[in-house]
Amino acid sequence: MSRKAYRLKLCWGVESRECPNVLDPAASLKQKLESVLESSGWPECLAGALSREIKPLDQFSISVSGCPNGCSRPQIADFGLLQAQYPEVDAGKCTGCGDCERACREGAIDLETGVARINPGLCLSCGVCIRTCPEQALFPARQGYRVQVGGKLGRHPRLAEELQGIYSREEMLAILKRCLALYQKHYRPGVRFGQVVAEQGADKIQQMLSR
């Protein structure tokens, strides 16, 4: 059986919708991603460029993780997604109980002022503090996806570049379309998307993909 021009991997939690860490168990995500891939022109581009059957390393890889644990290894995919919730504090509701501080594995919350305060440089947007707060004083200020592009293994492995910000599903799908268009523009057999990202540079990639 001939291979598709892409491979799509969802972590167990997103696939089964049973993991307590998953932030968005919506069943339609896989179909939405496949729809973008099929309509992007990438399958036709790859088929036209190769004079042989598609091999695994030719495929455009997408990996989706339901939380920052990254069980599906989005950091080494062409296009990696981590579901995310960035918390904000309602100071009027916060009692300073410390439950959120104890629950945060990154040490991104402190209670020095008696009210929870988030350190954005440490927060991974996992949403655990939001679920932990007994007063509902923490809520998602931004919710969606962290997007990572250009990861790969092979002879010259590289971790993906993370685009700054948290993107809605619609924004994330638009970024995927731009990634596939960029890859097709620079594609030649044997060149992975990670090489295109490296050649363009992280700053330029950020501007092109998240505009």
Are both 12 and 44 inside the same structural domain?
yes
Are both 68 and 107 inside the same structural domain?
no
What pLDDT was estimated at residue 201?
A: 84
Q: Is residue 1 a part of any domain in this protein?
A: no
Final residue of a domain: which of 110, 126, 141? 141
Are both 168 and 79 inside the same structural domain?
yes
Closest CA to 130 of 143, 145, 121, 120: 143
Are both 106 and 129 inside the same structural domain?
yes
Final residue of a domain: which of 141, 163, 184? 141
| pTM for the model | 0.92
Whether residue 170 is predicted with pLDDT greater than 90 in this model: the reply is yes
Enclosing domain of residue 106: 86-141
Q: Which residue has the tokens 């990696």?
A: 80
Q: Read off the pLDDT band of 25 (50, 70, 90).
A: confident
What pLDDT was estimated at residue 98?
A: 96
How many structural domains is the chain composed of? 2
Are both 74 and 109 inside the same structural domain?
no
How many C-beta neighbours within 10 Å does residue 110 have?
Answer: 14
Sequence-distant (6+) residues with CB within 8 A of 57 are 154, 192
Rounded to 10°, the helix 29-39/42-49 angle is 50
Q: Which residue has the tokens 């707060």?
A: 133
User: What's the CATH number where 121 sits?
Assistant: 3.30.70.20
Are both 99 and 199 inside the same structural domain?
no
Q: Report how far apart, in Å, the C-alpha atoms of 162 and of each of 20, 77, 89, 149, 168 are.
A: 25, 12, 25, 6, 15
Q: Is residue 96 a part of any domain in this protein?
A: yes
User: What's the CATH number where 14 sits?
Assistant: 3.30.413.10
What pLDDT was estimated at residue 107?
A: 96
| pLDDT 10s digits, 49-93 | 999 999 999 999 999 999 999 999 999 999 999 999 999 999 999
